Structure 1
Amino acid sequence: MRSEQDMTDIDEDALAEAYKKGLELEKSGDLDGAEAEYRKALALDPSDPGGVSIRLAAMGREAAPERMPEAYVATLFDQHADVFDDILVDQLGYCVPILLREKVRELGLGPFDRLLDLGCGTGLTGISFSDCTNHMTGVDLSEQIVEVAYDREVYEDLYVGEAVSFLEEFEEEDGSTPLWDFIAATDVFPYLGAIEPMVTAAAARLEPRGFFAFSTETLPEDVLSGRDYMVGRKQRFAQSESYLRRVLGAEGFAILSLDPITVRLEDGEPVPGHMIIARKLS
């Protein structure tokens, strides 16, 4: 996130103009011109609130970063907070929280004492798990989104913060380090490239034999071309199944289920992904 001091040093008009020109040139098919304008925007504001580094990667003009810029994700969700559910559920057909709840029921898991909802958004996962959890904590990078979730009165505790940083740094007021027996991260991994920091941090915050559940997006193997992850043409990260299995195994998780799902619709077409539920072995 940018501080007020940082923002005073940025030519916002020039930044907006470069970003607008980049979008127009990309849409017209002039990728060279778009790249030049996007690089101007990135030079003007390296915090990258417009996500031009992601667009460059999607165009094949830059290697995929390890994650989306925090400034970009926060800006994106803050701008759409009031209509978030309408876009996600009604327009894009997003139902991952419901699919996750059904899978948990199918596996006979729960009830859970303490559930942590990373990237909680407006509370869709919280609503889906309200019948099988004693205490729920929600975390999201967007302050505006968290305000919407607060109004739903689903979570006992809500925090504004980046998911991995929260896992690594959060302490209770008395200085104790809380653990959870179920950590959910629905629609978080499409904003991450490298998943090792997230999986490592989640393992450290789970009770022994606790569960880590998350959704991903993926691409055909011939598109991934052996890569662990990449930015797709819709500016979201996709991870390979082999990468997911490798990292989870390395961090001491046993995979209970790894199922192909349709994450959402994009231009009317289904977006493939995976739903994963893993258990910490010790």
Structure 2
Amino acid sequence: MAKTDDDALAEAYNRALALEKAGEFDAAAKAYADVLALDPDDHGGASVRLASMKRGDVPVRAPEAYVTTLFDQHADVFDKVLVEDLGYHVPMLLRQRLIGLSETSFERMLDLGCGTGLTGSALEDMADDATGIDLAENMVEIAHEKGLYDTLYVADAVDYLDDNDDDPFDLIAATDVLPYLGELEPLFAAVAKNANPAALFCFSSETLPEAEFEGRSYTVGGFQRFAHTETYVRQALNAAGFTCIEAGDIIVRHEQGLPIAGHLFVARKQ
């Protein structure tokens, strides 16, 4: 993209964001349409912001370019922001649940959306072999520096799972992955293909009051993250060949001082 295009895109995005923050959602929607015309790959997540404002269709997932850009930009401060500022402790909550279920020893673990390795660190002593996958190269580099994983890949989770020829896994974790996905069936089916019989699939999700879903199985909430109904998640798990062991209520994180409600799912491959 030429510099003038970069300048035009930045100007259009900043204009749209200012209108959104001012509560002028109709004008912001038109401005985000301009952004998408300049950047069809949607590095800034305009489509997600439109859905969040109820001014656009709910996409089936966050754009890959948006997720990659978002996390690459914040890689250096990710751990501090997520843990200290947003109160994100899902990896440790998962560790506690696995201990509670007496599931503490796995031959092969796969960490989807591994980021900088927060889940890898929390579960490091539970797995003989750990593989991490993330879209953001800068995040994967930090995870590599920590030495938590035996293997690391920069890839989309579903793409990796569809192409994987390595041995299947006994534990597959996906903490903070679902907030960037709407439709769950592709991920869950791909996970099932890479899971040993009786393997555990553990992941977090966010939810909202029922009225905000407007009859849908998933939607985009006010903080530009996907939320799913518990019923939909359970149905998707069952369709993929998993039995849901539990879906515990958790506080996933805090946004602007507000607790974000969600669930911690533990499922077993049938």
Normalising by structure 2, report the TM-score: 0.98
Is the contact between residue 10 and residue 44 of structure 1 (CA under 8 Å) also seen in structure 2?
no
Letter in 2 for 1:92: L
1:99-125 deviation line (CA, Å, top 9, x unaligned): 001001101113000000000011010
What is the deviation of 1:8?
Answer: 4.6
Aligned positions, number: 270
| 1:191 maps onto 2:180 in alignment | yes
Which of 248, 262, 265 is equivalent to 1:259?
Answer: 248
Q: State the Cα RMSD in Å.
A: 1.2
Which of 20, 30, 36 is equivalent to 1:42?
Answer: 36
Letter in 2 for 1:247: A
Which of 115, 120, 129 is equivalent to 1:121?
Answer: 115
User: Equivalent residue for 1:274?
Assistant: 263
Identity percentage over the alignment?
52
User: Equivalent residue for 1:4?
Assistant: none
**What CA distance in whole angstroms lies between the structure 2 residues aligned with 1:219 and 1:95?**
19
Structure 2, unmatched stretches of 5+, are none
1:212-245 deviation line (CA, Å, top 9, x unaligned): 1000000011222331000001100000000011
**What CA distance in whole angstroms lies between the structure 2 residues aligned with 1:139 and 1:271?**
25
Is the contact between residue 218 and residue 239 of structure 1 (CA under 8 Å) also seen in structure 2?
yes
Which of 194, 202, 206 is equivalent to 1:217?
Answer: 206
Letter in 1 for 2:214: S
User: Equivalent residue for 2:134?
Assistant: 140
**What CA distance in whole angstroms lies between the structure 1 residues aligned with 2:41 and 2:179?**
19
What is the deviation of 1:85?
Answer: 0.5
User: Equivalent residue for 2:57?
Assistant: 63
SS at structure 2 position matched to 1:227? coil
**What CA distance in whole angstroms lies between the structure 2 residues aligned with 1:116 and 1:222?**
35
Structure 1 stretches (4+) deviating beyond 4 angstroms? none
Structure 1, unmatched stretches of 5+, are 1-6, 172-176
**What CA distance in whole angstroms lies between the structure 2 residues aligned with 1:212 and 1:234?**
26
| 1:100 maps onto 2:89 in alignment | no
**What CA distance in whole angstroms lies between the structure 2 residues aligned with 1:230 and 1:65?**
8
Residues 113 and 10 of structure 1: CA distance in aligned 2, closer, same or farther (over 3 Å): farther
| 1:23 maps onto 2:12 in alignment | no
Letter in 2 for 1:208: P
What is the deviation of 1:27?
Answer: 1.1
**What CA distance in whole angstroms lies between the structure 2 residues aligned with 1:59 and 1:265?**
20
Letter in 2 for 1:158: L
